[in-house]
Chains A and B, each alone.
Chain A
Amino acid sequence: MFFWKHTKKGEPQPRGLDDISPSLRTNLHWLKEDIFVHDQTIAYRGFKTSDPHPRECVLIYADNMVKHEYLSQFVLRPMMRSSLPKHLRGEELAHYAAERILESDGAEFITRYSEIGDKLMDGVGVILIDGCPVAVVVDAQGWAKRAVTEPPSESVVRGPRQGFSEDLGVNISLVRLRLSSPNFKTRFLHVGTQSKTRVAILYLDNVTSMELVEEVERRIKAIDIDAVLDSGYIQELIQDSPYSPFPTIGQTERPDVVAAKVLEGRVAVLVDGSPFALTMPYLLVEAFQANEDYYNHWITATFHRLVRYISFFVTTATPAIYIALISYHPQLIPTNLVISISAARKNVPFPGIVEVIAMGLVFEILREGGVRLPRPIGQAISIVGAIVLGDAAVSASLVSAPMIIVVGLTGVAGFVVPSLNDLAVLIRLSLVLLAAALGLYGFVFGVIAFLLLLSSMESFGVPYLSTMTTLVPQDLKDTVVRVPWWQMVLRPRYLASKDRQRLQGQAGRTDR
């Protein structure tokens, strides 16, 4: 907030706390010397309206945040070519200019310095007219934007290829294109005392429960932070169960996913400057759902989901079970297998647990090394990983071959459920340690602990396991299986939507 306690002596009139003065000189003085002092990106373009009664005006804008051609063509040119009638006084000048002269599509009036400060940073032009205590704001946003491209983090075989970019307006329009209904609502908030980041809450008026929208808005409003540079800040600041590693707010780069979540009765939050939208509430099942499930045939989609669940189990549990079996319960492995495993392990000097942890660490190092590198170097890393650390390690008897298989399988399976991949590493490690301590039963204790954690979590008042702990058939339709679209008659119960009907009558399917 701008509170100007000190008044400078000298020619500019002292101004009332925050109000724009009628005197152009005063205004310019305050803007240049106080609000934007030392800020060289703010441009002041002085000009006069044409005869017979030339009047001094100034167009102020932030350099590179506006479309310069636009400003000169539709703002400066008409202003300089026309004249303001002499009889106009004060605010009338601004209104006359906006109504009769300016050719830009948006025009707003503001009366406070603080608003000028806020607005300029949004990439507008502000026109100050001498003798008028009101500034005219014209839209001219034009900063560098990234094109709408396919999001790299969520590519699809079948489905739309548009992804969010960093521009909030563009992102909202991408969602709105998919939900062309007057019920689609957007609420704007500003977060961050320094960054003043625009945050948009998206929901469907006739579907989403209002308590949910209010709750989301309340939590975002309660944020008091200096800057929000990505939606990740908001995510961490408003999510439930902040100490749990499991995500309780969903994130996506795809407008079609946001549209689908909003249609189910969820709330989406878009943050200016971040291509990642947040959706809430977020349940564990959503980690196993992919947008393609809904575009592909439902039988294959169901199969893929099953694969994802199995992969998650594989990636978290395999090393632990392997350790438990070889070190505590070899009698549970079929005889032939146990012979070949022990033959492979014969020359390896380390106990199984050391092998697992070391190889797991190597895998994570390779992955982390590869992620942020340019692609050609990344390939070199995978070659080093495969040949040197895999093959050579086995021939040197540093690791056993079955262990390479286990670690490799674990690593690959982890990529099947990308949103839980980072977390799977932690689960895997804790299960391995427990299995090393108490065998299969240590593993079971670990599983119990994780299930308890999951059972205790909630996301915006919805239990995290909602659809997994229900026995109501309707609520199971979009969990492990993905039933055909004509069967998904109702929206999920746990979201407490206003309107649960999704399909009308006999499911909108035409039987022939």
Chain B
Amino acid sequence: MKELVPDHQGMILVLMFIVGNTLVFPLGGLAGPDIWLAFLTATVLALPIILAMARVRSLMQGSTFFVGFERVLGKWPSRILAFLYGGFAWRLACYVVSDVSNFIQTVALPTTPPVVIATFLALLMLWAAKEGVEVLARFAVMVGKVVLAVLAIIFVLLLSQVDLGEFQPVLYNGFKPVLRGAFQILDFPFLETVVLFWVFDCFGRRVSPYKVFLPGFLAASLVLLIMVSTSLAVVGADRYALYYYPVWTAVGRINVSTFLTRLEAIVGVTFAIGSFVKMAVALLAASRCFAYAFGFSDYRFVVTPLAMGVIAGSRWFITTVLEVDQSAVETHSPDEIMFQVVIPLVVWAFAELKAKNGKANGSSQAGGGEEV
């Protein structure tokens, strides 16, 4: 059974995955006032990997994901890789769940234990993951429209408080902080997109992976750039990295004729909904990977145990809001580089070689790719 996501819905899914839970964190705080430069740098640096992912998916055209993947890498390497990425995606799900549950506890429900919230979230994402990527993509579009509309309104309302002086002087500390900020942003959230690589079952056409990943990523990067720079300009460059949730704080300053105030709640709600897309996608990816690693193409039966694991895991990696903040700001544990940079590029190289051989032999592999 193929699960086919229309290109535009896939694009929104990518967008929501990246924007979703990042919104409130001090992204790229290390870059200080040069945050916009850090964003641009990170975008440029992330592009090759995004493109490599799209390219691999494009080469697999004509077969469902795991069949195509097995063809590129062989049976056991692909299964081992799936197992590893299953773990990576599962950990991501845990991270996002603990981000959200800690956020909700901090800003709204100080007396509710985060585990309760995590359990609610786990139930919902379990359902979402069982419904599959098609449903999730539709959900992402429904939610995405609301989230983007809210962000647009907030942006307009924040404009009056923007102090462009906060961006000055440009490159005061040289390029090094920019680069550090850029690496922060690469690590979280840009290159977490590798998880999405495992989520889509198949694509409509050969260009579809590009049409899904590229515009989705670029739009997300633009949205984040705008939101983050705006809130930096509102709260001030020096304080930006100090707040747990700078966008939240910035929006809290909106005050239109003493009536339209306290809009933070809306940001919080948006953040919760957006994060939900991300955690559901991560759980879906983890389930697909694990099921495949054990040799099943149907993944739905492993969703529940993994979701139950997420409830526990959300208290494992991170337990307090302080650590949430650190995890968002600190970068580069070696496994992240491994998963986010090295392996995708290696897989891409393999896929290219394989495709070249296939073409040279004129074998059925290349021909098979034209079907559908």
Contact = CB atoms under 8 A, between A and B. Distances in A.
Note whether A and B contact each other (Cβ less than 8 A). Answer: yes
A445 B117 CA distance: 10
Contacts of A329: 108, 265
Contacts of B104: 438, 441
Contact of B135 (A440, A445, A452): A452
Interface in B245-273: 258-259, 261-262, 265, 268-269, 272-273
User: Which of A441, A445, A468, A470 neighbours the largest number of chain B CB atoms within 10 Å of its CB?
Assistant: A441
Contacts of B12: 471
Interface string A159-199: 00000000000000000000000000000000000000000
Contacts of A440: 108, 265, 268-269
Given A439-B108, A452-B128, A456-B131, A444 B142 contact: no
A444 B272 contact: yes
A472 interface: yes
B124 A448 contact: yes
A373 interface: no
A472 B120 CA distance: 34
Nearest to A465: B138
Interface string A121-151: 0000000000000000000000000000000
A501 interface: no
Nearest to A333: B262
B71 to A, nearest CB: 31
Contacts of A441: 104, 108-109, 117, 268-269, 272
A358 interface: no
A328 interface: yes
A442 B112 CA distance: 12
A439 B117 CA distance: 11
A247 interface: no
Contacts of A439: 108-109
A455 interface: yes
Interface string B125-158: 0011001000111110111000000000000000
A374 interface: no
Interface in B79-119: 104, 108-109, 112, 116-117
Interface in A450-465: 451-452, 454-456, 463, 465
Contacts of B138: 455, 463, 465, 469
Residues of B contacting A: mostly? helix
B142 A469 contact: yes
B124 A455 contact: no
A309 to B, nearest CB: 12
A504 interface: no
A331 interface: yes
B143 A451 contact: yes
B269 A444 contact: yes
A47 B272 CA distance: 84
A331 B139 contact: no
Contacts of A463: 138
Contacts of A332: 262, 265
Contacts of B272: 441, 444-445
A449 interface: yes
Nearest to B132: A456
Contact of A455 (B120, B131, B259, B268): B131
A445 B124 contact: yes
Task: Pick from B108, B117, B124, B127 the residue with the most CB of A within 10 Å.
Answer: B108
B9 A456 contact: no
A48 B80 CA distance: 92
A334 interface: yes
Contacts of B9: 469
Given A329-B265, A439-B108, A440-B268, A445 B121 contact: yes
A512 B120 CA distance: 61
A438 B135 contact: no
Interface string A302-336: 00000000000000000000000000110110100
A452 B124 contact: yes
B190 interface: no
Contacts of A328: 108-109
Nearest to B121: A445
B149 to A, nearest CB: 12
A468 B268 CA distance: 24
Nearest to A449: B124
A449 B121 CA distance: 10
B267 to A, nearest CB: 12
B142 A334 contact: no
Contacts of B258: 334
Contacts of B39: none
B319 to A, nearest CB: 19
Contacts of A442: 120
A454 B9 CA distance: 16
B55 interface: no
A503 B292 CA distance: 50
B273 A468 contact: no
A232 B120 CA distance: 36
B108 A471 contact: no
10 contacts: A332-B262, A438-B109, A440-B265, A444-B272, A444-B273, A448-B276, A451-B142, A452-B124, A452-B131, A469-B142
Given A441-B272, A448-B124, A469-B142, 6 more contacts: A328-B109, A441-B269, A444-B269, A452-B135, A455-B135, A470-B141
Nearest first, the 7 A-B pairs at minimum CB distance are A455-B138, A469-B141, A455-B139, A471-B8, A456-B135, A456-B131, A469-B138
Interface of B: 6, 8-9, 12, 104, 108-109, 112, 116-117, 120-121, 124, 127-128, 131, 135-139, 141-143, 258-259, 261-262, 265, 268-269, 272-273, 276
Interface of A: 328-329, 331-332, 334, 438-442, 444-445, 447-449, 451-452, 454-456, 463, 465, 468-472
